[in-house]
Every structure is written in C-alpha cells, then in structure tokens.
Structure 1
C-alpha cells in the first residue's frame, strides 16, 4: 500500500467506522456464533501473496463481524463497560500513526510530559491527594500486581528482587468479593494463594473491618507477615464499597501497604456527591481506576496513583547501558513505574477525551448513567415478582426474579431470563451469585445509552419472566 492508497482507504475506514457506530443497533449485542464457527471460515495457512484492502475489509464484515460482541452497543449491560468515544478513537489512530515507544522520556518527551500532566488533571478531577503521582498502566490487573510487588519489596527492603524468598510468609488481605485479579497477582508475586486471606463481607458485600483486624492479629501471633491490604471501591459482582477510612486506619496501625482498587467506580468521583467513599484515601499507598471503563477512553487505559513513587521506582527500575541517558533523574522515565519496558502512548487518547468532553461534560454523562440505573432500580422495587439483592450504589443494578418460594426454582428462572435475553440479540446482561442466589446484573454505563434502551430491556425481562 502506498501513500495515495493509504489516504483513499483511510477515508474509507473512517466512513466505515462512522457507519458502524451510527448503525450499531442493527446488530445483535452478543455474538450468536458457536465455538469454532469463526475459525472454520479462516484459511489454515497465511497467504503467499498480498491481498487487496477491499478483500480485507470485506472479510471483516463477512468473517469477523458474526463473532463480535458489540461492546459499544447501547444495549450492552454486561460486566462493566469498556467504553469508547469518537475523540478516543481518533486519538488511537494518531497514536498508531506516530508509532511511538514511550519507555523513557528521551524516546518521546511529549508522551512522558503529557502523561504526567493528564494524571495531575485526574487527581484534581476526582479529589485525590495533591501530593500523589500518577502513571498510566494498561489494566487494573497489572496495576494491582504492581502494587503487590511494591508492597512485597517495601517490606523486604527491596531484597526479594535480588535474593528471592527466604521462607517469609507474607500475607495479603482482601474481601471475599474482591476481583479475581488479586488471586492471580499473589500467584505471580510468589506469595501464593494460600497466603491470600479473604475477609468476610456484610449484607452489602463490603469488607468487615473487625474481621480484617482479627485476621491480622492471628497472623502476627503465628509469625506470619502482613504485607498488603486491598480495599475495593466497587466490587465487580455488586459494586460493594469497602469502608476505606476504617481499613486505612488498620493499615496504618499495623504498618501494612494499602492498595485501593476503584477500577469501575473511580470515574464517578468526578461527581463530588460520591467522594465520601474516598474518605481516608490520603492514608493509603496506591489507588487506581479505569478511564477505559467509564470515562469514554477506549481500552486499554488504567490510571494508577502512588503516594511514594520512590518505592515504586525502586521496585521496578533496571538500568542497562543502552538505556542510560543524560536526563535520568530530571524527568519521569515511566518504564521504571511498572512491569513492561515498552509502553504505548496512552495519554493522548485520555487527553483528547478530557478536552473534547470537558470535565463538566464527563460529569453530566456519568450523572445521566446513574439516573438510568436509579430508574431501573425503582421498577424492580415496584414489581411484585422482582427484588433488589443489594442496594444500588452507582450505575449497576443487581436484582432477581422471585416468582417462586423455592431458591432453586428462582435460580432457574433467573438463569432462564439471562439466557433468553442474551440469545435474543436485543441486549446483553450478566449474572453473579450472592448467598447462593443466582442474580442478574445490569449496568447502565455505555457511552451512548438513552432511557428508552433501559425501558426496552426492562420490558423484555418482564416478558421472559412471565
């Protein structure tokens, strides 16, 4: 492909993307294919000769599209959203064109300095401590691993990186509702799943601090070493909000590293109304949230904040000769702030989104999404055959059909509702289990969602339940 062809096909692709997003509601939200269907349409061997771009784009529509679940569809209510926006998509195109490798300041000074500035914007936008520093990680899973590794090294005076473990029994604490990435992180960090302590939760799925302190005391009495506490603001299953301030006091009392995971809910802290959940954040050590979930910045983009950046850098820095520069120590070399050496220019799309929406525009959008969830919550409360399972906090509604008196029958009908709704192609929802109850989860946080989308979903759910 030459420059003229690139220009021609580039215009064609932009038109294709615009048409796709404009007409996205004509597609089934959840892919309806069976395992192996897509692979069966693809050749076993790579082509020997190049193919035309027209053929490539045609194959996207004919072979790839049937296997796509449309995360940007307004009726995508599953998991938590992974939102995009027009500004973010265009920024990603520019990022791809620049092809920058942003491992150190000198490989692209603008990338490093823009990232530093945009992270300061987020600190101001969401009410975080002004003295903290920020960096963009790819995902919350990576951010959590980074925090646990930093906690491990801070405890060991940065010696486990060099000497490995020497029979230390490090312990990590989180609620029984915390994201599975915590389990994976303690495995990767060498701490081990047996040393991940899951703390009981209350009826709103929030960690109970007195059980946390009891677990810490028990471990200390057994010569085990409390290393890290994970507080979750907005659990994946139900948006349970752990009591940050009380947990932070315990972490300070026992000198334990404290990480706060607000992957989904963190975007809502642009609304001052919700910042009471952040009370005590200044006592924590690290914090993260995902602009790629609810701040209209397409995947991947995790905003990660740290109180003591020197502990973070000392955990990850390695300085081979070929990376030595004259600017080291004067600038942020973000390769030392996380796991990978190579880094994408993620700050550009976040910069585009914040500037295109403005902080007020982001607030308005998130407030609208929360209002839609509140409307659905009220419909559930008013219906004789449905009930809320936990209180709604933000834009996630967790509820179930209670048509029967028997638990198993109710579980079966809720599973039937989910399967039928998803098979219809009209919407996509997911489930979780709360105290052995099979419950439905509906998120109203997709970028372009409107009230009529939620109304149609509620109508469909009621029809299936009958």
Structure 2
C-alpha cells in the first residue's frame, strides 16, 4: 500500500465510521449471531497474496459488523461506559501513525513529556492534590496505564516491594521469602473482579471485607481486620478503596480508611475507574474527601470521559516507590541524564514498551475543554435521574439504592425471579442492553447512561421497551399512570443531592 492508497483507504474508513455513529440508532444494540459465526465464515489460513482495501472494507461491513455489540449505542446501558469521540479517534490515528514505543525519554521525547503535561492537566481538572502531580516539588506524578486492572496490580506490587524493604531495613535478619507469604491485601466485598485478580497475579492474599448497608467499606471494619491478621502473625500491606463500586456506584469513605492505613503504614490505593471522572465537577469532590491520605489513585479516562480505550490515569504520591519496585537496567536502555523532573516511564508500569496514549487525552482535552467535559458529566447524571423518575412513577418497580452518578438500579416488586425474567426477555429482544447486580442480596437490574450520544428521547425509548415487557409479564396490571414532567424541569440542586 502506497501513500495514495493509504489516503483513499483512510478516507473511506473515516466515512464508514462517521456514518456508523450517525446511524447507530438504526441498529439493534445486541447482535443476532451465535458462537462460532465468524470462525465458520472466515478462511482458515491467512491470504498468500495481497488483497485490495476495498475488499477488506466490504468484508468488514458484511462479516465483522454483524457480530458487534454496539457499546456506543444510546440504548446500551450495561456495565459502565467506554469512552469514544471523534477527537479521541483522531488522537488514536496519530498515535498509530507515528508508531513510537516510548519506554524512555530518548526513545521518543514528546511521548514522555506530553504524558507529563496531560496528566498534570487532568489531575488539576479533577482536583487531585498537587503532591500527586509532576508539577509539584515532590516525587509524585501521573502515568497512563492500560486499565484500572493494571493500576491496581502496579500498586500492589509496589506496596509489596516497599513493605518488604521496610521490614528488612528494620530487621536485617528477616528473610524476604518468609515475609511475602504473610502479606495481606484488603478491599470491600463490593470490589471489581479485577481487584481480586490483582491479588492472584501478585501472589498476595486478598481479603474481601463486608461493606455496610450502603455498599461502603468503613474504617472500623478495616481496622478490625488489621488487628485480626496481626494477631495471627500476618502483615497488612495493601488496601484498595472504591470510589464508585461496580454494582451500585457506592463511595468508600477515604476520610475513615486513610487514617487507619496511615497509622499502620499500609499502602492505600483508590479505584475510581468510572466515577472518578465526575470530580471534574466541583460539586462532586466531597465524595473523595480524604484523598490526600492515599498513596495512589486511578481513574479511567476511557470510561466516562470521551477518550477511547486504553487510557487509565494513575497518580502516585511517590514515584520512587514504583521505580524501586520495577527498575531493571540494561545497557541498551540507558537514557538521557538531566536535572529536569522527567520520569522514566518504563519503571512505572508492568510492560517495557508503551504506546503514545497521551495523544488521545491531549486531543480530547483540547477539543472539548473543561467546560464541555463538565457538561458531559452533568448531562449524563441528569439523564439517569430522569430515568429514575420514570421508574418511580410506575408502582410495579422499586428503585434502590438511590441513583448514583449515571447508574440507576431497579427491580420489580414481584421478586427476584420475575426481575430476572424481565432482564432475560429484554436481552433476547436486543433493543436495549442492561446487566444484573445485587443490592442487599436482592437481584436488581443496572441501568447506566453509557453513550455520549444518549439524549432524553433515547431514555424514553429504553423505558418504553422495559415498560412494554413488564406489561407482558403483568397483563392484568398494565400501567397507565401519567408521565413525569420533562427533564428540563428537573431542578439542578435536586439532581446533585440525589447523586450523593
């Protein structure tokens, strides 16, 4: 493929994607395919001779697209958002076009320095304390990881290394191999599965502590767990707090957990993968009260911000903790010597190589600006509150717990079995997509405002699908209650209060 063919192929691909986004409402959110559909339709071997790009785009439309779950559809309400925008797509194209591997400053100076700049920008927008930023006088700073899963594991491995070093320094007679099996990590039983996986990958026992009635891990619960383990000769090492749990988007009180961890000299990491983006809006920063007490925090820019995967923003209070844990030197990796505060990012992550991911974040921050990013978050929270009002206006449903950020959990009063049946039937029809969760041991359906394209009319459409299915389940209780006032009349202060 020469430059002219690249221009033609690229323009055709951009047109295809633009048409896809503009017409996404015309397609069911879930595909109508069975397992093996693509395995059985594509050739078993790679082509021997070059093929034309026109044929590739044709096959993309005819073979690939029928098997796509449309995460950017306004009727996609499952899991949590995955960010997307034209700005980020262009940033990704620039990243792929340059094709640099920025493991050190010398390997591509702009790759390292733009990441420093954008992580400072984003940290300031979110209200992250200055000591976590590269622009501070201390050792803190930010790094773009691939996912919150990676960030949790990076924090765990750094905490393990730091704890072992500390114990051996205090008692040189201790053996590293004797210490490591005694180290324990702690989190809430509401944590994401990736947190448990970090314990498996990092060979550290992970205790899932019982959350309170609102899904929060409390300081007294953590303190008691520390005491129990110390009494058994174990060593508390690492705690993962949640700012926005996966199931119900609950917020752990950092102002309780922080003092417990600080007193015990235990690393406190914050997983704010989804909800952390809301801190761009000052009215939600009370939910991270105590953030100055933590050691690291991670927020997925590729979830609620319009940045495409992968772009997970992690800040640490002391970057040297990562360097000491991951520093492996080779003569061919020698980097430039400078007095400037420039991180050697290969020591801040698990892999050696790294993509120029900061380009996506840079283009989004510039194209959107802080004002439009705040509007994006506030609009999606407003839409979630609007959906909650629709559900509450139908006396066959219960909304619980209180809606949080862009998430509304609801169930039928008839019980878990019929609520599960409702979700199964909606999934079978493929018009809207939601997944289940649990709250106080009850089966609930999670409705999340995910797509940046979602408007009030899309929420009305999704609610109509839900309501119609319930009418079939309850033919003798077809609901005819009047609709609620338009979303424009929802008071902003009420929205803010219900999101707490």
SS at match of 1:39: coil
Matched, 1:427 2:432: yes
Question: In the alignment, what sits opposite 1:239?
Answer: 249
Per-residue deviation, 1:328: 6.2
Give the whole-Å Cα distance in 1 for the aligned partners of 2:339 and 2:144.
19
Per-residue deviation, 1:25: 1.3
Q: Deviations over 1:287-332 (max 9, x none)?
A: 0100100110000000000001111111111110100123367422
> 1:139 pairs with 138, 141, 147, which one?
147
Give the whole-Å Cα distance in 2 for the aligned partners of 1:249 and 1:350.
33
Per-residue deviation, 1:42: 1.0
Give the whole-Å Cα distance in 2 for the aligned partners of 1:342 and 1:366.
33
Question: In the alignment, what sits opposite 1:106?
Answer: 106
Question: In the alignment, what sits opposite 1:448?
Answer: 453
SS at match of 1:156: helix
Contact kept in structure 1, 2:164 and 2:179, CA below 8 Å: no
Question: In the alignment, what sits opposite 1:187?
Answer: 200
Per-residue deviation, 1:376: 1.2
TM-score normalized by the length of structure 1: 0.95
Per-residue deviation, 1:401: 1.1
Question: In the alignment, what sits opposite 1:166?
Answer: 178
Per-residue deviation, 1:425: 2.6
Per-residue deviation, 1:167: 4.8
> Where in structure 2 are the equivalents of 1:65-464 lying within 5 Å?
65-132=65-132, 133-157=141-165, 165-168=177-180, 169-191=182-204, 195-327=205-337, 330=340, 331-402=342-413, 404=414, 410-464=415-469
Contact kept in structure 2, 1:158 and 1:315, CA below 8 Å: no
Give the whole-Å Cα distance in 2 for the aligned partners of 1:141 and 1:463.
38
CA RMSD of aligned residues (A): 1.5
Question: In the alignment, what sits opposite 1:407?
Answer: none
SS at match of 1:229: strand
Give the whole-Å Cα distance in 2 for the aligned partners of 1:329 and 1:248.
33
Deviates more, 1:435-444 or 1:216-225: 435-444
Contact kept in structure 1, 2:72 and 2:450, CA below 8 Å: no
Contact kept in structure 2, 1:158 and 1:314, CA below 8 Å: no
Which stretches in structure 2 are left out of the alignment for 5+ residues?
Answer: 133-140, 169-174, 472-500
SS at match of 1:292: coil
SS at match of 2:9: helix
Q: Deviations over 1:368-411 (max 9, x none)?
A: 00000011112222321111121112110011111x2xxxxx22
SS at match of 2:178: coil
Give the whole-Å Cα distance in 1 for the aligned partners of 2:338 and 2:196.
35
Give the whole-Å Cα distance in 2 for the aligned partners of 1:333 and 1:341.
11
Give the whole-Å Cα distance in 2 for the aligned partners of 1:435 and 1:181.
22
Give the whole-Å Cα distance in 1 for the aligned partners of 2:108 and 2:369.
26
Contact kept in structure 1, 2:230 and 2:236, CA below 8 Å: yes
Deviates more, 1:293-302 or 1:330-339: 330-339
Contact kept in structure 1, 2:105 and 2:336, CA below 8 Å: no
Q: Deviations over 1:35-86 (max 9, x none)?
A: 1112111111111112111111111111111111011111111100112001
Give the whole-Å Cα distance in 1 for the aligned partners of 2:199 and 2:469.
42
Which stretches in structure 1 are left out of the alignment for 5+ residues?
Answer: 405-409
SS at match of 1:445: coil
Give the whole-Å Cα distance in 2 for the aligned partners of 1:329 and 1:383.
65
| Equivalenced residues, count | 455
Question: In the alignment, what sits opposite 2:11?
Answer: 11
Deviates more, 1:240-249 or 1:166-175: 166-175
Per-residue deviation, 1:416: 2.1
Give the whole-Å Cα distance in 2 for the aligned partners of 1:379 and 1:205.
25
Q: 1:392 to 1:108 in 2, by over 3 A?
A: same
Give the whole-Å Cα distance in 1 for the aligned partners of 2:233 and 2:338.
41
TM-score normalized by the length of structure 2: 0.89
Q: 1:338 to 1:254 in 2, by over 3 A?
A: same
Q: Deviations over 1:174-222 (max 9, x none)?
A: 000011111111111111xxx2111111222111322211111111111
Give the whole-Å Cα distance in 2 for the aligned partners of 1:3 and 1:288.
40
Contact kept in structure 1, 2:164 and 2:176, CA below 8 Å: no
Give the whole-Å Cα distance in 1 for the aligned partners of 2:176 and 2:455.
53
Question: In the alignment, what sits opposite 2:494?
Answer: none
Contact kept in structure 1, 2:213 and 2:440, CA below 8 Å: no
Q: Deviations over 1:69-111 (max 9, x none)?
A: 0111111111001120010001111111100111111111111
Contact kept in structure 1, 2:401 and 2:439, CA below 8 Å: no
Give the whole-Å Cα distance in 1 for the aligned partners of 2:214 and 2:450.
21
Give the whole-Å Cα distance in 1 for the aligned partners of 2:329 and 2:167.
17
